[in-house]
Amino acid sequence: MYHVFNKLKSKLTGFKDKISSKIDEKAVAIEPEAVADAPQEEPTSSTPVPSAQETVESKVEEAVPVSEPVSEAGSVKNESSGAKKFGFAQKAKALVFEREFILEEDDLEEPLWDLEMALLESDIALSVSEAIVESVKNQLVGTRRRIGSNTGNIVEDALKKAIYDVMSANVFDLDDYVKDADKPVHIVFIGINGTGKTTSIAKLSKRFKDQGMSVVVAAGDTFRAGAIDQLAIHADKIGVKIIKHQEQGDPAAVIYDAIQHAKANNVDVVLSDTAGRMHTNINLMEQLKKVCRVAPPDLIIFVDEAVAGNDAVERAAQFNDAVAINGSILTKTDADSKGGAAISIAYITGKPILFLGMGQGYDDLRKFDPKWFVDQLFAE
Ligand SMILES: Nc1nc2c(ncn2[C@@H]2O[C@H](COP(=O)(O)OP(=O)(O)OP(=O)(O)O)[C@@H](O)[C@H]2O)c(=O)[nH]1
């Protein structure tokens, strides 16, 4: 089992348990009355107990809140308390004949507050936490909960859908893209110092080589002493060609040469390293723009480390504003138990997370799949 993000995982389980027991308390309070009044019929094969998914989806269209204005956008507005209320007749019908009750906003207020705190403590950005809480609320409020059905599943499905929705921004498959695009495909990697750009380039070089493609790496980090040698060592170990100039040389010239080399030799992929920089460093940002002019990339990938949490999310947003990234790689997830950056980056930038770095080995790179990630968060 995948052990990273354990802290986030335990917080989500805590929320699920808390809200489930709160709902169960309500069910217990209601049940004697319902049992006493209800016709003595158990659900039969013609009235099957809905699955958790069906229950969540059977939100309240049938049990439309009574005497509430509906906004132009179609969402239900509430004048006073902000909570959805359900008419006596609907409640009575649900309770007596169907042995169900309806979840109301009041039932969820405290657990949802706890959920928001737990998400923030897990380094999930504020706007993302709010979006998740809102989604969970919208899915659960008004759910007709059949007494005796599994509350935990209903809550888990709502959480999974909320997290999946914020993570699955503009998903695209880098392997497929590279396979189908005109060659050479040029990818530039950007980010701040020491987050794992060079290592990620090495990992991707191996990945593409293993897929039968030819790769050249461009030593565009001419700024940091030792960066060229570091990339050269990786290139040598993996068995791919490196194009390099002197330290302090012009990165745009190195990367241009790498592309010319690729064109002349039918190389499939050019992966360009760049010096780590803050988006606030005007000279280095101008240099990056020059690289993009002289040797236009097909894709720009932002690299940052999961352990940086909200700082990584901020930087992703800032780099995206400066040069319009196509996606991100989140490294060092093997050292991060919080998981917030992974959830936030795609939502904040509107660009997908493409890979997770999960260690220092060349194969420690996992293609990011939001569904897999969400399933891991709730795996036993
Ligand atoms: N545990 C772990 N370490 C990683 C991962 N990715 C990179 N590292 C380590 O992080 C350190 C920095 O990685 P680099 O690839 O040199 O980072 P960089 O962004 O190229 O740094 P600059 O060249 O300074 O811009 C190295 O020691 C890597 O081995 C990862 O997914 N997990």
How many domains does the chain fold into? 2
200 Cα–ligand 1 center, Å: 8
Examine the domain organization and report whether 91 and 197 are in the same domain. no
294, with CB counted inside 10 A (0-12, 13-18, 19+), is: middle
At residue 366 the predicted structure's pLDDT band, cuts being 50, 70 and 90, is very high
Residues 273 and 217: beta-carbon distance below 8 Å: yes
pLDDT of 95 > 90? The answer is no
pLDDT per residue as tens digits for the range 226-241: 999 999 999 999 999 9
Residue 167 DSSP SS3: helix
Rounded to the nearest angstrom, the distance between the alpha carbon of 194 and the centre of ligand 1 is 5
Q: Residue 105 is part of which domain span?
A: 6-167
Residue 32: the pLDDT is: 52
Please indicate, yes or no, if residue 300 is contained in any of the structural domains.
yes
Find the Cα–Cα–Cα–Cα dihedral 366, 367, 371, 375, rounded to 10°: -10
Distance CA 98, CA 21 (A): 21
Looking at the fold, whether 189 and 329 belong to one and the same domain comes out as yes
Q: Which residue's CA is minimally distant from atom 13 of ligand 1?
A: 196
Q: 331, 356, 362, 367: which to mutate for ligand 1, most atoms within 8 A of CB?
A: 331
What's the CA-to-centroid distance between 86 and ligand 1, angstroms? 55
Dihedral angle sign, alpha carbons of residues 151, 155, 160, 161: positive
Write the single-letter amino acid at 142: G
Atom number of ligand 1 nearest to Cα 203? 6
One-letter-per-residue 3-state SS of 210-276? HCCCCEEEECCCCCCCCHHHHHHHHHHHHCCEEECCCCCCCHHHHHHHHHHHHHHCCCCEEEECCCC
CATH code of the domain in which 111 resides: 1.20.120.140
Residue 156 inside a domain? The answer is yes
Distance 311 CA to ligand 1 centre (A): 17
**Strand 215-218, strand 144-146: pairing:** unpaired
Instruction: Pick the closest to residue 128 from 169, 172, 157, 156 (CA basis).
Output: 169
Is the domain of 197 the same as that of 311? yes
Q: What is the mean pLDDT of residues 245-250?
A: 88
Cα-Cα end-to-end distance for the chain:
9
Q: What is the pLDDT of residue 98?
A: 52
Domain CATH code at residue 291: 3.40.50.300
Can you say whether residue 373 is alpha, beta or left, with left for phi > 0 and alpha for psi between -120 and 50 degrees? Answer: alpha
pLDDT in tens, 144-158: 666 566 777 888 899
Nearest-atom index, ligand 1, CA of 356: 31
For residue 278, the CA-to-ligand 1 centroid distance in Å is 17
201-224 pLDDT, tens per residue?
A: 999 999 999 999 999 999 999 888
Task: Answer yes or no: do 37 and 181 share one domain.
Answer: no
Question: pTM (2 decimals)?
Answer: 0.80
Ligand 1 centre distance from Cα of residue 216 (Å): 20
Relative to the CA of 191, which ligand 1 atom is closest? 19
Q: What residues are designated binding site? A: 191-198, 273-277, 331-334
Q: Does 208 share its domain with 248?
A: yes
Q: What is the DSSP letter of 308?
A: G
Ligand 1 centroid to Cα of residue 330, in Å, is 11
Measured from CB, residues less than 6 Å from any atom of ligand 1 are 191, 193-199, 221, 224, 227, 276, 331-332, 334-335, 357-360, 364
Determine, yes or no, domain membership for 1: no
Task: Please identify, by atom number, the ligand 1 atom nearest to the C-alpha of residue 273.
Answer: 20
Confidence of residue 27 (pLDDT cuts 50, 70, 90): low
Q: For residue 4, what pLDDT is reported? A: 61
pLDDT at 145: 65
234 with 190, same domain: the answer is yes
In a domain, 198, yes or no: yes
Residues 320 and 196 in one domain: yes
Last residue in a domain, options 127, 143, 167: 167
Whose C-alpha lies nearest to ligand 1, atom 10? Answer: 196
Q: Which residue's alpha carbon is nearest to atom 9 within ligand 1?
A: 196
* Ligand 1 pocket mutation pick from 274, 301, 360, 366 by most atoms within 8 angstroms of CB: 360
Is 374 strand, coil or helix? helix
User: Within a domain: residue 280?
Assistant: yes
On whether both 161 and 198 belong to a single domain, the answer is: no
For residues 155 and 198, membership in a common domain is answered with: no
CA distances to 17, 67, 112, 154, 378 from 14, rounded to whole Å, are: 5, 36, 12, 15, 11
Give the per-residue pLDDT at 35: 44
178 within domain boundaries = yes
Reduced to 3 states (helix: H, G, I; strand: E, B; else coil), residue 139 is helix
**Tokens 């005007």 map to which residue?**
282
CA distance 12 to 18: 10
Helix (H, G, I), strand (E, B) or coil at 173: coil
Q: Helix H segments across the chain?
A: 6-37, 52-57, 88-98, 105-121, 126-140, 151-167, 174-180, 197-210, 227-238, 251-264, 282-294, 310-323, 340-349, 370-378
Look at residues 120, 136, 167 and tell me which one is the last residue of a structural domain: 167
Ligand 1 centroid, distance to 309 Cα (angstroms): 16
**Sheet (strand 215-218) strand order:** 241-243, 215-218, 269-272, 185-190, 299-305, 327-331, 353-357, 365-367
Of the candidates 377, 379, 380, which has an alpha carbon nearest to the alpha carbon of residue 163? 377
Query: Residues annotated as binding site for GTP?
Result: 191-198, 273-277, 331-334
154: in domain = yes
Could you tell me if 181 and 36 lie in one domain? Answer: no
Residue that is last in its domain, among 138, 167, 196? 167
- Do 273 and 305 lie in one domain? The reply is yes
Regarding whether 143 and 46 lie in a shared domain, the answer is yes
How much of the chain, in percent, has pLDDT values that exceed 90? 47
Instruction: Using the atom order of ligand 1, give the atom closest to the CA of residue 194.
Output: 21
- CB within 8 Å of 233: residues ≥ 6 apart: none
pLDDT above 70 as % of the chain:
77
Is 369 among the domain residues?
yes
Query: Which of 198, 329, 356, 362 for mutating ligand 1's site (highest number of atoms within 8 Å of CB)?
Result: 198
Give the ligand 1 atom nearest the CA of 357: 31
